A and B are shown apart, each in its own frame.
Chain A
Amino acid sequence: AAGVIQSPRHLIKEKRETATLKCYPIPRHDTVYWYQQGPGQDPQFLISFYEKMQSDKGSIPDRFSAQQFSDYHSELNMSSLELGDSALYFCASSWIRESGYTFGSGTRLTVV
């Protein structure tokens, strides 16, 4: 069965550059979530979309934005990157309110 696909798997950027992370949810899942996980930290919720509309917002910096497109894939755009943005970024998707999430393998972003 198809899982949640994230790209790229690894990304190295310099300070003040921009980055775009992509996520392709499981077909027919209606909600997409983005999480950030720093080294040794718990996953921090950033933002989610239900049927292409923003449904919840967490600790997403103003430098970051996200959207979900008509084909349901989502992109996380990150600008003015800082060293502290280095982390694993996970996308997850789910179907209906009471189901578990399926996580992608993540994008490891390193800011140098």
Chain B
Amino acid sequence: SQQGEEDPQALSIQEGENATMNCSYKTSINNLQWYRQNSGRGLVHLILIRSNEREKHSGRLRVTLDTSKKSSSLLITASRAADTASYFCGARRDTGRRALTFGSGTRLQVQP
């Protein structure tokens, strides 16, 4: 089963606005992680939230996790043109040494 489905698929905002991306998953998880990817580059780890956490902050990033709804959101506040990238959530299942499975990502375009 596929984990980590993001929406929207694409988001275009102006610099200074906030960007919210959502992610849903299907099975119980140990943690959920958000990554950023610039075109053609490797993914960069942004933030990890454990299954027993509800909210986490890191700089301009805020992540929430609702395990009852199997969903997570990533909020980027005061966006900058440099935030333009694709954002993926990866769900780590709660059994064994399972690898992260990623969804289709949200392409964020921040207009200067």
Contacts and interface: CB of A to CB of B under 8 A. Distances in A.
Interface string B93-112: 00011111111110000000
Interface residues of A, number: 28
Given A42-B105, A99-B48, A48 B41 contact: no
Interface in B23-73: 30-31, 33, 35, 40-45, 48, 50
A48 B99 contact: yes
A98 B99 contact: no
Nearest to B47: A100
Contacts of A45: 99-102
Contact of B98 (A4, A56, A98): A56
A35 B41 CA distance: 13
A89 B79 CA distance: 30
A58 B97 CA distance: 12
Contacts of B100: 33, 45, 101
Interface of A: 4, 31, 33, 35, 41-45, 48, 50, 55-56, 58, 88, 90, 92, 97-106, 108
Interface of B: 30-31, 33, 35, 40-45, 48, 50, 88, 90, 92, 96-105
13 contacts: A31-B97, A50-B97, A55-B99, A58-B99, A88-B40, A92-B42, A98-B30, A98-B31, A100-B45, A101-B33, A101-B43, A101-B45, A102-B45
